[in-house]
Amino acid sequence: MSRHESTKGDGRFDKHAVFADGLVVPRKVLPLQDSVLIGDPKGAAMKEPTAPNGGQWGLCQDDFGKPWFSNAGGEKGVWNFQTHVAYGAINVPSQWNETWMTVWPAVGLFDAQGGKSRHRDDGTVNHFTASCGQEIFRRDRQPGELRGNVFLPEPVGRLIRRGTVEVKDGITTLTNPHGESEFFRITQPGSAEGN
């Protein structure tokens, strides 16, 4: 990996520096103010074993250090977020409200996974299918009400679910604040609808 820089500020790169060489499929690259963090699964980077977590295609962390796993084909979106998974993969019925598992795509695709009962009459999927790549919003460059929310892409439904996170009586709960809609939905190839 290398860095290209315009030291004169004219938009023309006049300085080049290699900062990491010989990487094999780095998983993450995070530019910082004066450094870069790189996740290289083949490198000598630190590894910490975790308990079985059911996560398939996504892992993020909240401000309290608690990891959040995506469930991908398990139809739940995110799970095992009640406590750090080192203490156990804990889920409770009240962690989602009654409509959390229902997704609201803008258009139907008639994705066949799960059969006819997994679709509405208009062809839209009615559940999470391949949710992955979730993120807990931890920055400050968006409206304040988004901080601490979980954002979960649902690729078959072509949407992004926003979940408000709240702790009630020691139970971390998720709610879709958009009712029978989503934070972001693709309405047709090449266009999108957002709340």
Helix (H, G, I), strand (E, B) or coil at 182: coil
Residue 5 has which token pair?
A: 């820089």
For residues 87-97, give the mean pLDDT: 88
pLDDT value of position 19: 77
Binned at pLDDT 50, 70 and 90, residue 103 comes out as very high
Backbone angles phi, psi at 2, to 5 degrees: -135, 160
Most confident by average pLDDT, 41-55, 87-101, 128-142, 152-166: 152-166
pTM across the whole model: 0.72
Domain boundaries, the chain: 2-39, 59-194
Listed residue (37, 119, 52) closest to 85, CA to CA: 52
pLDDT value of position 184: 94
pLDDT value of position 113: 66
Binned at pLDDT 50, 70 and 90, residue 112 comes out as low
| Cα dist from 37 to 41, 68, 120, 141, 148, whole Å | 13, 20, 44, 21, 22
Residue 31 has which token pair?
A: 């530019």
- Sign (positive/negative) of CA torsion 78, 84, 88, 94? negative
pLDDT value of position 47: 60
Residue 72 has a CB neighbour count (10 Å cut-off) of 20
